[in-house]
Amino acid sequence: MKLGAFSISLAVKDIQKSKDFYQKLGFTILGGNEEMNYLILKNGNSVIGLFQGMFEKNIITFNPGWDEKGNALDSFNDVRQIQKNLKSQKVKLNSEADETTTGPASITLTDPDGNEILIDQHV
């Protein structure tokens, strides 16, 4: 099962301060919109999202259909395929994708230690 590009989505208190801090660590802006309180930053193959006021805890994120540069992949496991696989293994999902649709969709789950996981397909 291929989950796609990996990143960590950080719930930040002050997006400007967080952006400045991570830029000092060598991260550059890959995408997002600071005025809308979110930025995507990259350093080599490492990707982090900064999100102010959008969620309470940090979230582990996977993006089926994207590589670590945000480029669309020709071949990937659709989020609905991933969902079916997880359900067949009795993994509890917090939210599910509509299996009658195609294209962008997401699912969420929580690991045994309470870490939130978002599998978010944009293509």
User: Could you report the per-residue pLDDT of 88-114, keeping only the tens digit for each?
Assistant: 999 999 999 999 999 999 999 999 999
* Structural domains in the chain plus CATH codes: 5-103 (3.10.180)
Question: In the numeric block, which tokens belong to residue 54?
Answer: 């959008």
pLDDT at 68 (0 to 100): 84
pLDDT at 69 (0 to 100): 84
Q: What does 71-107 look like in DSSP terms, one character per residue?
A: PBPSS---HHHHHHHHHHTTPPPSB---TT--SSEEE
pLDDT at 86 (0 to 100): 98
pLDDT in tens, 81-93: 999 999 999 999 9
pTM: 0.89
Residue 42: pLDDT over 90: yes
